[in-house]
Amino acid sequence: MDTDQLIRTLAADNAYRARPIGLALMLALLAAAPISLLIFFAELGVRPDVMTAMHNPFFDLKFAVTLALAASAIAVSLHLSRPEASLRGFGWWLLIPAGILVAAISGEMMMPQRTPMMTRLIGKNSMACMSAIPAMSLPLLIGALYGLRQGAPARPAVAGAVAGLLSAGLAATVYASHCTDDSPLFVATWYTLATAIVASVGALMGKRALRY
């Protein structure tokens, strides 16, 4: 097939309209969410004292951090799905959840505490956190990568890592309602480690899946 023939064929297909990437990503995440929620309710469930916990600002801050991570990673993912885009000028979005976390840690430092710092940091649920967040993230990550395949990222591994951040952010939001460790020190340690694992898996998977 010579190039003129190819061009004619492509022009004949001009009527085809692909889904916008934002919509494709949203639909794929909605399709994957029930699987993650199933893992959550089968294995963990919401903590029993959730009604009282809601009055603790540090419980609520966990959601601020994880939702900020999910939202900024979604924005960066959509940006990176364009071939000419890079992290430059956009990467700082990902610092928003880190900023909230730092503010929360300083807030907690200023308050009188009954338990020592290391006890709060180590907590009681570190292993559950490290396994539940990656497990719940995996279906979301696969969904996110599937949706983002509509895109054309210049660096598929970077785009995959950001997809990992977004799925970890969503999974951690649900997980936070189970976890009884509310100290920002715990969140900064274990949630971050779990998120890093998911981001690395995302980079490895994205490297292949997001090539165009």
Partner 1 sequence: MREREDEWTDLMRSAISGDDAAYHRLLKAVTPVLRAAARRGLARAGQPVDQSEDIVQDILLAVHLKRQTWDANAPFAPWLFAIARNKLIDALRRRGKRIFVNIDDFAETLPGETPEPTASPGEVTAQLQALPARQRDVLQSIAVDSASIKDTAAKFSMTEGAVRVALHRGLASLTAKLRDR
Minimum Å gap between C-beta 161 and partner 1 is: 18
Neighbour-count burial of 15, counting CB atoms closer than 10 A to its CB (0-12 exposed, 13-18 middle, 19+ buried) = exposed
Looking at the Cβ atoms of 151 and 202, the one nearer to partner 1 is: 151
Minimum Å gap between C-beta 94 and partner 1 is: 21
Minimum Å gap between C-beta 84 and partner 1 is: 4
Looking at the Cβ atoms of 69 and 166, the one nearer to partner 1 is: 166
Q: How open is the CA angle 78-176-81, to the nearest 5 degrees?
A: 10
Looking at the Cβ atoms of 47 and 207, the one nearer to partner 1 is: 207
Minimum Å gap between C-beta 205 and partner 1 is: 15
In angstroms, the CA 160 to CA 16 distance is: 27
16's CB contacts (< 8 A; 6+ apart) are none
Residues that bind partner 1 (CB under 8 A): 1-21, 81-84, 150-152, 154, 211-212
Q: Give the count of beta carbons closer than 10 Å to the beta carbon of residue 12.
A: 9
Q: Are 199 and 161 in contact (CB under 8 A)?
A: yes
Residue owning tokens 């309710």 = 41
Looking at the Cβ atoms of 13 and 88, the one nearer to partner 1 is: 13
In angstroms, the CA 132 to CA 44 distance is: 8
Looking at the Cβ atoms of 151 and 184, the one nearer to partner 1 is: 151
Looking at the Cβ atoms of 10 and 38, the one nearer to partner 1 is: 10
Q: Could you write out the DSSP letters of every residue in 105-156?
A: HHHHHHS--SS-HHHHHH-S-HHHHHHHHHHHHHHHHHHHHHHHTTS--SSH
Minimum Å gap between C-beta 12 and partner 1 is: 5
Minimum Å gap between C-beta 158 and partner 1 is: 13
